Amino acid sequence: MRLRRIAAASLLVCVIRTDAARRPRYGGELRIDTRATPQDPESLDPQIFSSAVFETLVKLDDHGDPQPWLAASWTHDKSRKRWVFTPRANVVLQNGSPWSPGPIEFADDRPIGEILRDLARPRNAIVIRGPDGSITGTGPFRIAMWEPGKSVTLAAQENYWGGRPFLDAIHVTMGRSLREQAIDLEVDGADVIESALRPRGLSYVSPPVAVLALEFDDRVAPAARQAVALSIDRAAIYNVLLQKNGEISGALLPRWLTGYSFLFPAGRDLARAKQLAANATLNFSYDRNDALMRAIGERIAVNAAEAGVVLRPAARGEVQLITLTVPARDVRTSLEDIAAMLKLPLSAGSPFEQERALLADSRVVPLFHLPRIWAMNPRVHNWPKLADVWIETEKK
Amino acid sequence: MTFRTKLLLISSFTIAGAVALVTGAVAVSVRRAFERADAERRGALLDQFRRQLVARGDEITREVEQAAQSPAVQQIAASAAEYDAAQAEAQQDSLDFLDVLQPDLTIISSAHWPARFGYKNDWDIAPADWTAEKAFLARIPMPDATATALVAARRGPSGKIVVGGRRLNPEFLKSLGMAPGMRALLWLAPDEVLDAQGPVSDPQKLASLMQGKSNVVQWTRDRASAEAFQTLPLMQNGKTMGVLLAGTSLREQIGLEQAILWIGLSVGGSGIVIGVLLGWWTTERITRPVERLAAAARAVEHGDWSARAEVASRDEIGELAQAFNRMTEQILEQRERALQAERVAAWRELARRLAHELKNPLFPLQITIENLQRARERSTAEFDEVFRESTATLLAELANLKTIIGRFSDFARMPAPHFEPVDVNETVRGVMKLYDARLGAIGRRIELENGELKIRADGEQLRRAIGNLVLNAIDAMPAGGTLAITTARIENGARLSVSDTGQGLTEEECARLFTPYYTTKQHGTGLGLAIVQSVVSDHRGKISVASEPGRGATFIIDLPEMQP
Amino acid sequence: MARAFWLILFVSTVRADALEDAARALARSVVAQLAPNEIARVSVRNLSSLARADVARAQLAFEQTVAKRVRDASPIEIALTISENIRGFLFIADFKGMIEMEPYTPAVDLPARFSMVLSKRLLWQQADPVLDLIVMNDQMLVLDISGVTRNERREGKWSPAESAAAPSSVRDPRGRLTITETTLTADLPGLTCHGDLRALALNCAPGSVFSAGRNTFEAQPPFFSDAQIGNTRLVAMPDGRTYINDVVIENWGSDLAVMATCVGPRVAVTGAAGRDANDSITLYDVIQSVAIRVSDPVQFPGPVTALWPRQDSALAVVHNLTTRQYEAYEITADCSR
């Protein structure tokens, strides 16, 4: 009896969900609009495109646990310092040649959990660079055409090890503003667009994965930072400007990821803010081209003015309204990556203690956790897992 | 200053004065005329503005009423996404500001500052104005500034309050019709002043105008950039919301004034020039003869007795010249006569002196020869002795005569001086050495100029002159005294003075001193001082004496440094 | 049946213990931070999806562990919050300015009961997608994406006996099993495997009724599913429509199976439900290209991923959206309805 079970495959396929009763249709091209203008394929939005073109050895599942992906299994020596990862069989590179690197050995004395989390990071995806500068991956789509900052076309990989994706191709148009994207969807120029707020019609709302926060330069006095933080009326912004999308938060990581975000205060204390303010004047920058960010930025300036802190709009300010994307479905990975993004040191200790240390001096003041919202044509199914997405044909 | 110059100046001042007066008068009346006309125009502009303000206010009131009644505004709810709904309504009604408020003035939606939803309306509006019928002025805080606007407030049927309006901006001013050279400015703050084109640069130049110090503003160094303003404060509830300034450019006026000035200057200038030329020609006829007369007088003064003034005309000047000439001739004749008389007197003196001098030796000569005659008649032995004595006496007296004659001869034949650089101090020292023994008990005070005192002189003659003075001084102090010799540098020459402490000289004696053969001495030929005078004269110097009886005499010789 | 009951009870007990263990562990770490004379005054807040009964159980376990008798007690407020994250639940104690946390991850639930519906009967369920399934007395052949497994029933419980590999790595995989006395044939996308029933071994060769690398039947044009009633052929096409000759039906699903009923062959049809929704199967009759509904829909806890005809029943494989398991049901039509 030949028993060949590939444990990973079962779990992999677990996440494939076919539609209710309509069989997914193979074929078709999906047209996506985005605001971002990445200059190279590795900078494509990881939330949608990670694992579409380049895959990692290990992937985090819905619970944040690392599962075998390109690596089928791994073993270690007695000292737990040398690791051997066995690559999955039958993986074919996008350029047609098989991916058979043989057992991957390396020395690492970190705990295995940390190693696996690190291997699951998009930046550790398997990317083969050719001598002519071309890049190849193992994912279900390959890059058929790339115009940096303008558009990218991904074509389905026929012999992808997890099964050819349903779509034939994906065409991404970059640098489209939200208004332009809305028009594209209306005139059937795009199938999936980004949306700031919940649209009418078909949409996909992710869990809150974006942190809207204020970032302070270290030139700003701690008292002034706290004054601004305590002056913000998050409830009004949440109810009116965000229309109750997402959630109010004082934590860096959202509740669905950590469970303890409510422990970080997010309330308003105008009296204390006035005491700390001491008539500070700061330069405040936010994305003026994004109507929602501009409205939130102006509202924050009005709140801070009440406490006695003047926030002057500027192109580059000591105070910035930033959006951080939670990078992974794992708390430690996300904290490490966010600390690196903010250029702040990460202390030791439990994730809660680490997060508390990051937020202790108010260099970063989280305000809200916002979902990512996509509006789409009703013909699109299974968004956002690109390998599973399929579109219905046109109704005649 | 010459007469001609005086005359020219007077004529120039007269012409210039006349022209300046005329120019000034014209300029002043021009200015007055302009100012009257400008003031009228400015007043008219301000009236027009007042009317416009009222008309605009009515328009705004209507629009706010419309907005308050519109269903869109009624439905703006206090929550949800409508916080920016006022913007659309404001755009539709062409209003710069529109706030939709709860009855308690909490902002539901603000068109110009959407982020202020939920806050209380902060426009500077007095409580009474919320229910005012007409539009009014208010200051509205904005994110980065404060705006002044004409606003109206109305209550909608659902109880919501709608307040909105338009900003006072250049558009407002554009609608005023203005004559060329006029403009309207709107002063809203010391650094916010607008005209029909937009913000005015250098609004701080209006500071003195706003303080009431002056009503003219000069914008640049160019005077023609000045403007005269009239102000109309825009009041609301006793507060000044802004000031309207109606201005008229002073460019034309100043241009005209400058033209008048230039004309005055050119007329005056050319007048002066013509006047100068005319005056020149006129005075030429007067001052030239006068100058010639003056030149002749100067020549005479310098010794040119042949100088005559030209008689070029028959007027007063000509008569003056003639008189001058006559006078000169008369003086010349008189001088000649005086010289003659002087010469005769000098001759007489000389003859007397000569006679006196010669008489002395001659008398013994006669006696001696008479002795000889008598002795011939006596014995031969007596005759031999007497012959021996007498011949000796004869020879001695003849020698004496020779000496006297020799001296006269010397005086007559004093040689022409031979000039060379001579140190006066050295000469004095030499003379003092020579006569040192002769001074005997007489005190000496020698004060010489520092260093060398070089002049061009004949050293030999100078020595002789100084020597004579020293001898005279010695002779004047038979009972002893002090001889003082000083030398000093004077302008263009040297001064030598020799003084004694003898009995002094009277005035008459001083005057006659330099006459040859005038002597106060018992002996001597009296030629000494004459020689001194001759030397001094040859050296073109000057000699004088100062004395008082009983106090000695001082002879002062001034010698020039250079000889021609 | 009794066994099932005890199993259920056992499972429930195990579940409760894990919950209370977590609450007790948290309580112990709180007690370690209290001074000897400090006693706890606990307030509880539930921010998770944990059921009220479970919250009460956790609170009780916590309070019992922190309780102590002390003279001159100084009460300390302890705020106990039950929160939730992607891994499960989180118990958080906030007291004296300190925070203690304890995670609680519930085990995957076994179903509390078998679904019994009049016309559906659960035969089998597993985590991997089931492509087809045949039951023969005490033997069950399961075709799934890794191959064929033969299960044997012992003491009422199925357990795997042997298996043979025939991996298929196609998105939305299809597969069909046919057996004879001694052999079995597995049709997979692009691959047909023959094997021996007695000693499970498969020989696979390229070529199949199913298109290679796709989820359609290999034909021109490719189709998802078809059924024949008399002379009428019904075809479910990739454009989402079902064609009965020239007649187009817009609102059916992509799977059809003919079932023999007491009144003749009828076609079982899956529903045209929206995404992520539960599916249903309805029986239709077709007369002159017109489809007439003859039963109420029978509901399933997820989408139907495979529907194959059996002699007088049908086999339906459903992906349970809640449990994520693939469930194989026998669908029978009861004439009394």
CB atoms within 10 A of CB A158: 12
In this prediction the ipTM stands at 0.74
Is A318 found in the same domain as A233? yes
Alpha-carbon distances, residue C110 vs A65, C131, C319 (angstroms): 21, 22, 15
C62 versus B309: the higher-pLDDT residue is C62
**CB of A151 closer than 8 Å to CB of A174:** yes
> Residue C6: pLDDT band by 50, 70, 90 thresholds?
low
Calculate mean pLDDT across residues B395-419: 80
Question: Residues 67-86, chain C: which have Cβ within 8 Å of A?
Answer: 81, 83-86
Locate the chain C residue with the closest alpha carbon to A388. Answer: C171
A89 interface with C at CB cutoff 8 Å: no
Give domain status of residue A253, yes or no. yes
Contact check, Cβ <8 Å, B118/A298: no
C189 CB-near residues (< 8 Å, 6+ apart):
C168, C170, C173, C174, C175, C208, C210, C211, C212, C213, C214, C215
Q: In chain C, what residues touch A113 (CB-CB under 8 Å)?
A: none
> Which pLDDT score, from 0 to 100, does residue A20 have?
47
**B198-207, C15-24, C102-111: the lowest-pLDDT one:** C102-111
Is C204 found in the same domain as C318? yes
- Taken as a whole, chain C contains a residue count of 337
A338 to chain B nearest CA, in Å?
A: 30
> Residue C112: pLDDT band by 50, 70, 90 thresholds?
very low
Is C127 found in the same domain as C71? no
Calculate mean pLDDT across residues B454-474: 89
**CB of C132 closer than 8 Å to CB of C176:** yes
Is C316 found in the same domain as C181? yes
**CB of A251 closer than 8 Å to CB of A260:** yes
A90 interface with C at CB cutoff 8 Å: yes
Q: Which amino acid is at B399?
A: A
Is A296 found in the same domain as A393? no
Give domain status of residue C110, yes or no. no
Is A248 found in the same domain as A177? no
> Which pLDDT score, from 0 to 100, does residue B515 have?
62
Would you give the distance in Å from CA B148 to the centre of its chain? 61
d(CA C25, CA A77): 34
**What pLDDT digit, counting tens, does each position of A137-157 carry?**
899 999 899 898 899 999 999
B280 versus A265: the higher-pLDDT residue is A265
d(CA B195, CA B178): 12
Angle at B150 between CA B146 and CA B156, to 5 degrees: 110
> Which pLDDT score, from 0 to 100, does residue B297 have?
87
For residue B370, what are its two tokens? 């008479």
B343 versus B520: the higher-pLDDT residue is B343
CB atoms within 10 A of CB C166: 22
The yes-or-no verdict on residue B356 having pLDDT over 80 is no
> Which pLDDT score, from 0 to 100, does residue B7 have?
80
For residue A370, what are its two tokens? 């916002």
The yes-or-no verdict on residue B521 having pLDDT over 80 is no
**A36-40, A312-316, B487-491: the lowest-pLDDT one:** A36-40
Q: Is B52 exposed, middle or buried (0-12, 13-18, 19+ CB in 10 A)?
A: middle
> If you average pLDDT over every residue of chain C, what do you get?
84
Q: In chain A, what residues touch C129 (CB-CB under 8 Å)?
A: 13, 16
B271 versus C334: the higher-pLDDT residue is B271
Contact check, Cβ <8 Å, A20/C279: yes
> Which pLDDT score, from 0 to 100, does residue B514 have?
64
Domain that holds residue C16: 2-104
The yes-or-no verdict on residue B520 having pLDDT over 90 is no
d(CA B52, CA A364): 54
A78 interface with C at CB cutoff 8 Å: no
d(CA C175, CA C209): 9
A290 to chain C nearest CA, in Å?
A: 31
Calculate mean pLDDT across residues B423-440: 88
Q: Which helix (H) or strand (E) holds B331?
A: helix B316-377
d(CA C274, CA A21): 8
CB atoms within 10 A of CB A268: 19
B114 to chain A nearest CA, in Å?
A: 7
**B19-28, B77-86, B407-416: the lowest-pLDDT one:** B77-86
Q: In chain B, what residues touch A295 (CB-CB under 8 Å)?
A: 83-84, 114-115
> Which pLDDT score, from 0 to 100, does residue C115 have?
26
The yes-or-no verdict on residue B453 having pLDDT over 80 is yes
Is C147 found in the same domain as C56? no
Q: In what order do the strands lie in the sheet with C242-244?
A: C225-229, C232-236, C242-244, C247-249
B424 CB-near residues (< 8 Å, 6+ apart):
B449, B453, B454, B455, B457, B462, B487, B494, B496, B559
Please list the alpha-helical segments (H only) found in B70-118: 71-75, 85-92
> Which pLDDT score, from 0 to 100, does residue A252 have?
94
Question: 3-state SS string over A54-88?
Answer: CCCCEEECCCCCEEECCEEEEEECCCCCEEEEEEC
A76 versus A171: the higher-pLDDT residue is A171
d(CA A175, CA A75): 45
> Which pLDDT score, from 0 to 100, does residue A227 have?
94
C81 versus B294: the higher-pLDDT residue is C81
Question: Residues 108-137, chain C: which have Cβ within 8 Å of A?
Answer: 127-129
Is A313 found in the same domain as A248? yes
Contact check, Cβ <8 Å, A23/C324: no
Is A27 found in the same domain as A83? no
Is C150 found in the same domain as C25? no
Examine chains B and A and say if they touch (3+ CB pairs below 8 A): yes
Contact check, Cβ <8 Å, A240/B84: no
Q: Which domains, ranges and CATH numbers included, belong to chain B?
A: 70-167 (3.30.450.20), 336-412 (1.10.287), 420-560 (3.30.565.10)
Give domain status of residue A241, yes or no. yes
Tell me which of B113, B119, B121, B122 to substitute to probe the interface with A (most A C-beta atoms closer than 10 Å).
B119
Is A268 found in the same domain as A336? yes
C246 versus C23: the higher-pLDDT residue is C23
d(CA A207, CA B400): 161
Give domain status of residue C111, yes or no. no
> Which pLDDT score, from 0 to 100, does residue B383 have?
84
The yes-or-no verdict on residue A160 having pLDDT over 80 is yes
Tell me which of A232, A286, A302 to substitute to probe the interface with B (most B C-beta atoms closer than 10 Å).
A302
| Most distant CA pair in chain A, distance | 80
Give domain status of residue A200, yes or no. no
Pairing of strands C74-85, C38-46: parallel
Between the two ends of chain A, the Cα-to-Cα distance in Å is 52
C248 CB-near residues (< 8 Å, 6+ apart):
C241, C242
> Residue B387: pLDDT band by 50, 70, 90 thresholds?
confident
Calculate mean pLDDT across residues C191-210: 89
Half-sphere exposure of B420 (CA within 13 A, CB side): 6
Question: What is the share, in percent, of chain B residues with pLDDT greater than 90?
Answer: 14
**A75-79, C35-39, C147-151: the lowest-pLDDT one:** A75-79
Is C285 found in the same domain as C216? yes
**What pLDDT digit, counting tens, does each position of A300-351 carry?**
999 999 999 999 999 988 999 999 988 888 898 899 999 999 999 999 999 9
d(CA A249, CA A264): 7
Please give the tally of structural domains in chain C. Answer: 2
The yes-or-no verdict on residue B375 having pLDDT over 50 is yes
Give domain status of residue A180, yes or no. yes
Tally DSSP H helices, then E strands, for chain A.
11, 20
Calculate mean pLDDT across residues A169-186: 91
Contact check, Cβ <8 Å, C278/A20: yes
Chain A and chain B share a number of CB contacts under 8 A equal to 34
Tell me which of B117, B121, B122 to substitute to probe the interface with A (most A C-beta atoms closer than 10 Å).
B117
Q: Which residues pair with A351 in a beta bridge?
A: none
> Residue A203: pLDDT band by 50, 70, 90 thresholds?
confident
The yes-or-no verdict on residue A359 having pLDDT over 90 is yes
Pairing of strands B454-457, B216-218: unpaired
d(CA B164, CA B98): 4
Is A63 found in the same domain as A129? yes
Contact check, Cβ <8 Å, A6/C303: no
Between the two ends of chain B, the Cα-to-Cα distance in Å is 33
Is A70 found in the same domain as A39? no
Q: In chain A, what residues touch C167 (CB-CB under 8 Å)?
A: 4, 6, 9
Compare CB distances from A23 to C94, C213, C254 and report the shortest one's residue.
C254
For residue B503, what are its two tokens? 């009995």
Cis peptide, bond prior to residue C221, ω within 30 of zero = yes
- If DSSP codes are grouped into helix, strand and coil, which group holds residue C125? strand
Closest CA to A29 of A215, A168, A182: A168
The yes-or-no verdict on residue C315 having pLDDT over 90 is yes
**What pLDDT digit, counting tens, does each position of B133-185 carry?**
889 999 999 888 888 899 999 988 888 899 999 988 888 788 777 778 888 88
Q: Which helix (H) or strand (E) holds A118?
A: helix A112-119
Calculate mean pLDDT across residues C274-293: 80
Contact check, Cβ <8 Å, A298/B83: no
CATH value at residue A308: 3.10.105.10
A213 CB-near residues (< 8 Å, 6+ apart):
A252, A321, A322, A323, A324, A364, A365, A366, A367
The yes-or-no verdict on residue B61 having pLDDT over 90 is yes
A381 CB-near residues (< 8 Å, 6+ apart):
A19, A22, A24, A389, A390, A391, A392, C275
- Taken as a whole, chain B contains a residue count of 564
The yes-or-no verdict on residue A33 having pLDDT over 70 is yes
Over its C-alpha atoms, chain B yields an Rg (Å, rounded) of 58
A240 interface with B at CB cutoff 8 Å: yes
Give domain status of residue C42, yes or no. yes
Contact check, Cβ <8 Å, A64/C90: no
> Which pLDDT score, from 0 to 100, does residue A358 have?
93
A194 versus B513: the higher-pLDDT residue is A194
Chain C partners (3+ C-beta pairs within 8 A): A
Is A221 found in the same domain as A107? no
Q: In chain C, what residues touch A23 (CB-CB under 8 Å)?
A: 172, 215, 224-225, 236, 238, 253-255
Q: Is B59 exposed, middle or buried (0-12, 13-18, 19+ CB in 10 A)?
A: middle
Give domain status of residue A201, yes or no. no
Calculate mean pLDDT across residues A41-50: 79
**CB of C297 closer than 8 Å to CB of C120:** no
A229 to chain C nearest CA, in Å?
A: 21
Give domain status of residue A7, yes or no. no
Compare CB distances from A298 to B79, B115, B119 and report the shortest one's residue.
B115
The yes-or-no verdict on residue C4 having pLDDT over 60 is no
Locate the chain C residue with the closest alpha carbon to A204. Answer: C275
> If you average pLDDT over every residue of chain A, what do you get?
86
A281 interface with B at CB cutoff 8 Å: no
Please give the tally of structural domains in chain A. Answer: 3
Chain B partners (3+ C-beta pairs within 8 A): A
Is C120 found in the same domain as C100? no
The yes-or-no verdict on residue B525 having pLDDT over 70 is no
Is A107 found in the same domain as A168? no
Tell me which of C81, C172, C202 to substitute to probe the interface with A (most A C-beta atoms closer than 10 Å).
C172
Question: Residues 303-332, chain A: which have Cβ within 8 Å of C?
Answer: 329, 331
**A121-130, B33-42, B356-365: the lowest-pLDDT one:** B356-365
Locate the chain A residue with the closest alpha carbon to B112. Answer: A298
C327 interface with A at CB cutoff 8 Å: no
d(CA B559, CA B512): 22
**CB of A65 closer than 8 Å to CB of C86:** no
B122 interface with A at CB cutoff 8 Å: no
Is C135 found in the same domain as C95? no
Give domain status of residue A202, yes or no. no
Is C179 found in the same domain as C30? no
**What pLDDT digit, counting tens, does each position of A275-299 carry?**
998 888 999 999 888 888 999 999 9
d(CA C295, CA C118): 12
Is A214 found in the same domain as A351? yes
C97 interface with A at CB cutoff 8 Å: no
Token pair 């194989």 is found at C328
The yes-or-no verdict on residue A14 having pLDDT over 70 is no
Is A222 found in the same domain as A146? no
B116 interface with A at CB cutoff 8 Å: yes
For residue B199, what are its two tokens? 């913000």
Domain that holds residue A281: 208-371
Give domain status of residue C91, yes or no. yes
CATH value at residue A113: 3.90.76.10
Give domain status of residue C97, yes or no. yes
**What pLDDT digit, counting tens, does each position of A239-248 carry?**
888 888 889 9
> Which pLDDT score, from 0 to 100, does residue C108 have?
62
> If you average pLDDT over every residue of chain B, what do you get?
85
> Residue C327: pLDDT band by 50, 70, 90 thresholds?
very high
**A13-17, A178-182, B429-433, B559-563: the lowest-pLDDT one:** A13-17
Cis peptide, bond prior to residue C303, ω within 30 of zero = no
Question: Residues 331-370, chain A: which have Cβ within 8 Å of C?
Answer: 331, 350, 352
Is C191 found in the same domain as C284? yes
**B71-80, B174-183, B435-444, B505-514: the lowest-pLDDT one:** B71-80
> Residue B516: pLDDT band by 50, 70, 90 thresholds?
low
Closest CA to A162 of C224, B212, C145, C42: C145
A258 to chain C nearest CA, in Å?
A: 5
> Residue A395: pLDDT band by 50, 70, 90 thresholds?
low
C65 CB-near residues (< 8 Å, 6+ apart):
C23, C24, C27, C28, C31
Is C146 found in the same domain as C99? no
> Which pLDDT score, from 0 to 100, does residue C257 have?
92
Calculate mean pLDDT across residues C22-29: 92
d(CA A362, CA A369): 17
Is C94 found in the same domain as C120? no
Compare CB distances from C303 to A2, A20, A164 and report the shortest one's residue.
A20
